[in-house]
Structure 1
């Protein structure tokens, strides 16, 4: 056995802090693929065919222990789960033997030959061995059967038959001691109850090649299978999910996207030499074999992602997996289904094994290192590697941003900020009559400031922790945005509201087959606005009763609607390239911006900074506008909008890409604006400094069609960290959840069908759920801590194009694409209303009313 040696990188840099080859053993005969065993302090592997070699890092004087007892080549080795006594089991076509390592070492010290306990004889070729969590039962995968053996009585407890090919891997379920899950070369997995010897579930064929490996993640309650062509299939083991498939992953494509995925911060925030090099550093060896067989899967504990207080993970560590393949080792994140790190064997000059035939990995949580044992695919070598996780991640990831971004402002508005323009000019926007009356009532020789108390603007002090309290928001912030007093009474909504799962009411919005494209609740939760393809915007009462308000004037489909913070105005953007602001009470346009103002059609628009500005996107730029609305009534000029606006700042997207979506918080003061471009990038603008703050390249495989922030509700409170979460959605690429503080995709939601039409997403007011529409006529609700849906809401007859949570009640509307049905789910039906009830006024009368108004 050779001495441990440090391995250097092929690019000339020292990589000894990343991987070290601890040992190298030459076998007398070729080493066929076999199950290897790797523990925190030990590893075991076949040597010279029928000998069992155990290497340990505890005692350097006894690092190598050779056990003899098999007469035919050993095909599988496994360690027990208990630390003391440490048990080990080995299998060959002639024997299945269990060893106690402590007794074996004592025998060696006494000069005796170590001996094990024979559990089975002539069982055939065994491809996998696995101990139960308490080490009392051993699962032996022999041929197409799984034999469950008692380690104490050496008897056979059950023989599980049902696979059509050799069983390649099996695992015991940690939280269900009676359950065993197995995979086979027949390309399926099966769930067994080994106490009674029965089959619980059998999956269909999952891949075109045999399944080789299997892992069960206890934290996320997920099952991961790996096949010979590098495909990963992830299933949910949560009760009630019925082993539904969460997602499918192509390891080769993930490796390619990892090598090209980059996070580009603001060029002024980091020096040029601190930027990572291009993809050729990580992509060395990407020209390797077309497929990456998944030889082994093991748990990997990493301190990544969000803390448990944000509700995304059950502990402070993210659920990750080690993936051992013939070309290298990969760290796979089970939350966002992305690779966190890649280690190619050929990237290190002195590594003895370049292509592996068998692989086993184990993380050592004490020192954040991992140990891996490999056998050569084309030779007789067996090697052990020690991998430094921190060094591996540090080398392959960008350094942290100089300034951590947050939706919550941490400083006052700068004098040069575009936002400062709006706050200063806003003080002089009073009507002339009010100014004159104030001048006549002024007292001569009076001090400039004669009030006993002066209300602070709030910008000269740090943000308050209670700024999201419903009463604080409504009492202070709404008055700054509008001097009109709110006439509705606010009432806190219970924080633990149940999810809306029961169909409460169904409403036909219009006749024909005009699609409903967008939906939004007002801030008080009393009104619901939607835009449709028949050029109309409608505003309903939240309970969907009575005659809706009809807003006419657009010449194209209404793509987006947005309520002002005080509920007085409704903003709509249309495919005709115009943007209109409506009076919510009189259903008349008070501001109209068309093609004469914007060179290209408006893609997205909203109120911003508590109704101080209008934020919109036109072409490759984001524009910030101040506006003034003259609410005086003039019957002679009723149909001519008297509002006016003025451009404050125009911010172009990096790369001059067309803006496809934008989002900003209007319920409280925030400087950040999130945008998505046609080039699949996300860009964060800081309007306090008037420039780009960060760019995320390759956020999705297709352009993002919606950005949705967790804006909360005035009726509920959330931890302040949750307001930094936002979700993005692209056609055919699922939903991704991001954190502004890290600019990382923290979780990915899949399971809904979305292949060709843009469907909407929405956060619940409590911040614990995300809802989305789908093309299979259902709306899906995901919990933040799970990647698969917890509820699937039915009732539609076509594609669900949009969803919105009520801010004041557990209510979730969804929109149809064709049949114009607005379906509201609630936790219970209200008294006197039946599910599926129609509107009190038919859609035809709404159309006649709209014609009369126009």
Structure 2
């Protein structure tokens, strides 16, 4: 993927000097005071030599426009602007190339940058930032505020009056050039100096990096106030990337690492550059995703912005034919044809190399995923556990005595017509001892497709009503399928049933001995289940305060970490310890007043699957439509896809998070709206200190990360809106965060909570969210 197009030996060491590179030309100092311009496509041609500086050149850069191509070079005496095409013509005519002096005696300039219209140039010298006008050939702004020497400066691409500077004082500042005032000043980001800064125009993000390999991504809103979106560490990202590569190549054999490979080196963020976005199908439509490049001392790192993960690393050590082993400075230019041109200077030798990087095969298609989908493509196989059935108990009836055959007319006399009998005073005598028959007709599902959910509605921002449940911790909550009722599992061992407006007195269901850990509505909305830390599960109905089914009595050796109805209410799916259990059940709501202790409902184990030796920490499956897929997360930080049709593990994704996953949420939609079929293959996972990650089941890779909320010690859950456009998640800063599913920056921060927000749920019928705090 790396092609060395040109290698030059210089007369001076250029390890920490800004070099110039664009799609057509590269510029390097020659003899300290001159500039050599090479054509990237025809590197064997004689270079164009530019003379005019009296002192050694310290920085240079090309303009952003391609016609004409400008070069700006700086030394302690002059800052000169060169028109490359005009200089070439003068050289061909036998005349010396001439540039335009736009600044004089500005000191040791270490960094130059053009605005996107090439009408302004920023020059960093010491602690002073100069803004020069090439047309007027004068300094328009002199900005002083940093406490340490400046290292870089960049103009905002969508607003040329905004300039951002970084410094060795470990901060960056956002300047307003019209008023020469500071819009925003960052806090001290690191213990090491900041080296580079990059604007991402599509996302309106600001990215900065330091000498110790730390990268910060900030949102850059219209008010020019920066909010931290995510923080990345090159070394940690590299270790995760190596772990994924070892997993993918494990079957083919992994080469043993040498001692030299295990030596850790510093990874300074020397320069960053953005790449044109590429298109992938996510969220039911085509979405542009972005990469950006980080040039470090040992190679080029390609980072996917949405996931904050490495796509690949192009190491110098993996290409022994290169003339460079360690980089001192980078100048990166990304083209429109998925090719990148980079000019790199050696850290220890006076050598400069022009590299061409081909990215046509870089786009990731999956990290070993099996191409799964929540929608089945074939009916269940004959031996599938999903074909299991349970025998229902028939109501007992008294045996009828045999009737002997009699002639058609067997009465000895014909009954009287009644005219001569005494009149009856009562019309009928009701039967008081008749046995109540159990209805054998299945309850019809009410989940018919509605179209009254506004698909273009905005995310919820204001609270409609608040309710304090007497200082009781709410561990879980869930809306019913019609959005009219809410179940709340509490830490005081009870379950409360509210209406969706949270008005009136709730119905309380008591029976567990320890805090309730999970709840689940049935699809028919006639019953629900609750699981608790007391190793028991109970199924409740609307019409009875006592559970119809109690699963306990040492059936499970460890707490139930997830339980729900599955396969259109046919099964109860739950996990305890390292196993996943699939139970058939039949509810019989009739009661014998004498034998009330005896449970008439039937429950039967249909399948038990142990996908891993590690305990399962979270479980999720779709119940609103038929699906064979069950997702589980294990304490070894892996995500496993279970195919319940075959009763086997379909795929394993190791090290999905840096810590054990405590919540997994699928995009299940709603009966009141519809989404593109591809959207149902998305699911969320949450882990402490590792934010929320969105995964695509078809490729089993992360497609986006959400890290603005605070989640350090409590198991805060997340939810996807019925329209599939928003994500809600709890946070420990007494807020609930709402994200746009296509952006890593949060839309709204829902406040007015008095404690940690543990659980979040969207109403399936109306665009509102419910949040419960601890």
Q: Specify if TM > 0.5.
A: yes
**1:145-199 deviation digits (Å, cap 9, x = unpaired):** 2222222221222222222222211111112221111111121111112133222
Alignment partner, residue 371 of structure 1: 341
How far did 1:64 drift?
2.9
Instruction: Give 1:50 shift.
Output: 2.1
Contact kept, 8 Å, 1:29 with 1:49, in 2: the verdict is: yes
The 3 A distance-change label for structure 1 pair 393 and 565 is closer
Which of 257, 263, 286 is equivalent to 1:287?
A: 263
Kindly indicate whether the alpha-carbon contact (under 8 Å) linking 1:285 and 1:347 is maintained by their aligned counterparts in 2.
no
Measure the CA separation in 2 of the matches of 1:635 and 1:484: 29
Match of residue 359 from structure 1: 330
The answer for the alignment partner of 1:331 in structure 2 is 302
Partner of 2:650: 693
Note if 1:732 corresponds to 2:689: yes
Is 670-679 or 136-145 further displaced after alignment? 136-145
Residue 501 of structure 1 corresponds to: 461
1:736 & 1:276 partners in 2: Cα distance? 29
* 1:664-720 deviation digits (Å, cap 9, x = unpaired): 011111111110000000000112222111111100000000100111111111111
Distance (Å, rounded) in 2 between the aligned partners of 1:281 and 1:430 = 64
Report the Cα offset of residue 639 of structure 1: 5.0
Structure 1 match to 2:431: none
CA 1:687/1:647 → structure 2, altered by over 3 Å: closer, same or farther?
Answer: same
Check whether the contact 2:577–2:615 (CA below 8 A) recurs between aligned residues: yes
Specify whether residues 660 and 279 from structure 1 end up closer, same or farther in structure 2 by C-alpha distance, changes over 3 A only.
farther
**Pairwise CA distance, 1:54:** 2.1
Matches within 5 A, 1:465-614: 482-484=442-444, 486=446, 492-509=452-469, 511=470, 513-614=471-572
Aligned to 2:237: 254
Shift in alpha-carbon separation, 1:685–1:59, aligned structure 2, 3 A: same
CA deviation profile, 1:222-251 (whole Å, cap 9, x unmatched): 111011111111111123682111122221
1:371, 1:490 → 2: CA distance?
Answer: 53
Does the 8 A contact of 2:373 with 2:698 survive in 1? Answer: yes
Query: How far is the alpha carbon of 1:55 from its aligned partner?
Result: 2.2
Counterparts of 1:131 and 1:182 in 2: how far apart (Å)? Answer: 13
Go from structure 1 to structure 2 and tell me whether the alpha carbon gap of 1:430 and 1:485 turns closer, same or farther (over 3 Å shift).
Answer: farther
Evaluate the alpha carbon distance shift between residue 431 and residue 525 of structure 1 in structure 2; reply closer, same or farther with a 3 A threshold: farther
Distance 2:542 2:257 in 1: 57
Structure of greater Rg: 2
CA contact (8 A) 1:90 1:96 kept: yes
Would you say the 8 A contact 1:559–1:575 is kept in 2? Answer: yes
Partners of 1:375 and 1:43 in 2: how far apart?
A: 12
State the TM-score, normalizing by the size of structure 1: 0.82
Q: Which residue of 2 aligns with 1:23?
A: 6
Q: Is residue 227 from structure 1 mapped to residue 194 from structure 2 by the alignment?
A: no
- Partner residue of 2:113 out of 130, 154, 162: 130
* Contact 2:317/2:325, CA 8 A, preserved across alignment: yes
Match of 1:779? 736
Task: Give me the whole-angstrom Cα distance separating, in 1, the residues matched to 2:238 and 2:64.
Answer: 32
**Aligned match for 2:354, one of 384, 397, 406:** 384
* Residues 129-156 of structure 1: CA deviation (Å, up to 9, x unaligned): 1111111111122222222222222122
Shift of 1:23: 0.9
Q: Tell me how many residue pairs correspond in the alignment.
A: 733
* RMSD between aligned residues: 2.6
Give 5+ residue unaligned stretches, structure 2.
Answer: 400-439
- Partners of 1:277 and 1:365 in 2: CA distance: 37
SS class of match (1:248) = strand
CA drift of 1:565 comes to: 0.5
- Equivalent residue in structure 1 for 2:638, among 678, 681, 684: 681
Residue in structure 2 matching 1:660, options 617, 637, 646: 617
Q: 1: CA distance between counterparts of 2:282 and 2:30?
A: 45
Shift of 1:412: 2.1
TM-score, normalised via structure 2 length: 0.90
Name the counterpart of 1:34. 17
Q: Distance in 2 between matches of 1:275 and 1:299?
A: 35
Distance 1:330 1:283, change over 3 A: farther
* Cα deviation 1:468-524 (Å, max 9, x = unaligned): xxxxxxxxxxxx994347499966221122222212222232x4x442100000001
Alignment match of 2:752 (pick from 795, 801, 805): 795
Cα separation, 1, equivalents of 2:573 and 2:374: 16
Which moves more between the two structures, 342-351 or 486-495? Answer: 486-495
Instruction: Report the secondary structure of 2:680's partner residue.
Output: helix
Distance 1:307 1:801, change over 3 A: closer
1:769 matched residue in structure 2: 726
**SS at structure 1 position matched to 2:505:** coil
- Assess if the C-alpha contact under 8 Å between 1:187 and 1:209 holds in 2: yes
Deviation per residue, 1:745-787 (Å, 9 max, x gap)? 1111012111111111111111111111111111111111221
Q: Which residue of 2 aligns with 1:322?
A: 293
Residue in 2 that maps onto 1:46: 29
Q: 1:307 to 1:562 in 2, by over 3 A?
A: closer
1:277-322 Cα deviation digits (max 9, x unpaired): 5485799735231x211100001246475457547x4x3xx21110
CA distance in 2, matches of 1:387, 1:284: 25
Match of residue 421 from structure 2: none
Q: Which residue of 1 aligns with 2:372?
A: 405
